[in-house]
Chains A and B, each alone.
Chain A
Amino acid sequence: MPRIVREASVSWEGTTARGSGVVSAATSGAFELPFTLASRVGDPEGKTSPEELVAAAHASCYVTSLGTELARAGTPPDRMAVRCVITMDQIESGDHRIVASHIEATAIAPGADADAVARAAEVADAGCPISALIRASAEVTVEARLEGGE
């Protein structure tokens, strides 16, 4: 299998409390986004954060795994939507940790029933490399339902 490398870069100026950074998609050039401590733990005020980027990574990884599993079951989806919520919390030591990632998925998949979607959702979770990573240190939960199904 090929090794695929993706790179991002950050420039940060000043201290954590008063400084600010810009995070850029170095491989694709698809984004260049400011971030600050306040936007990470408080009101985002239109700025992203590491945890929001993880949410986007997990949702976009999971959606491909779910599509793969539904196709493998003989019911390829016409359309899927996945929402991911990443929760960061302060743990006892005072450090911040990503404690949970919650995935909500819906699929329009002709011929699939609710059980088939639930099974595919579970296998997709096991197969998504980002689910596997996050699960090693945090709770990963998945809710999936068939759209237009019973």
Chain B
Amino acid sequence: MAAERTARVTWSGSLLEGGGRIEEVGSGAFGPLDVTWASRTEESGGRTSPEELIAAAHAACFSMAFSSGLAKAGSPPERLDVSARVTFVPGEGITQSALTVRATVPGIDEAAFVELAEAAKEACPVSKALAGGPEITLDASLA
């Protein structure tokens, strides 16, 4: 079954002097969140940006795919700590998403762990959606 997820954003004024707001999302989980061009391309100043949201989507997606893969292999994780660092070059686009995972997984050896992490990196829907663009890197290790 298809799942639809929505977000609504408004913007007032010019790109450089005006500002935007993620007014709401379908789940109601967040919003309003302010976004500006300056917070996107310079210091964040506590504001999110499209690239930070992509990083959040990618980290969240990878963590679920990896926990699923580990459980199917008979070694469900106790805990996964994942980060995604997204690099954006204005005029060029998003050039990299670097995933890092530190995990507590009882009863797994390092080689099997790394293999499952790589498989999750390939399979997660957000990785697939990014497949046309940035380099996706993975640094996976057991805690």
Nearest residue (CB) in A for B100 is A9
Contact among A15, A46, A87, A134 for B76, CB-based, below 8 A: A15
Main SS of chain B's interface residues? mixed
* Complex contact A64–B4 (CB within 8 A): no
8 Å CB interface, B49-93 against A? 49-64, 67-68, 70-71, 76-93
Main SS of chain A's interface residues? mixed
Size range of the chain B interface in the assembly: 35 or more
Nearest residue (CB) in A for B134 is A133
* Complex contact A83–B53 (CB within 8 A): no
CB distance from A43 to the nearest CB of B (A): 9
Q: List B contacts of A57 (CB < 8 A).
A: 50-51, 53-54, 57
CB distance from A48 to the nearest CB of B (A): 4
CB distance from B63 to the nearest CB of A (A): 4
* Complex contact B52–A135 (CB within 8 A): no
Q: Check: A44 CB closer than 8 A to any chain B CB.
A: yes
Digitize A1-20: 1 where CB-to-B-CB distance is under 8 Å, 0 elsewhere.
Answer: 11111111111111111010
25 A/B residue pairs, CB under 8 Å, sorted by A: A1-B92, A6-B85, A10-B59, A15-B68, A16-B64, A23-B56, A27-B44, A28-B39, A48-B60, A52-B26, A52-B27, A53-B53, A55-B7, A56-B22, A56-B30, A58-B7, A60-B49, A67-B14, A67-B18, A83-B7, A84-B7, A90-B2, A95-B123, A132-B93, A136-B133
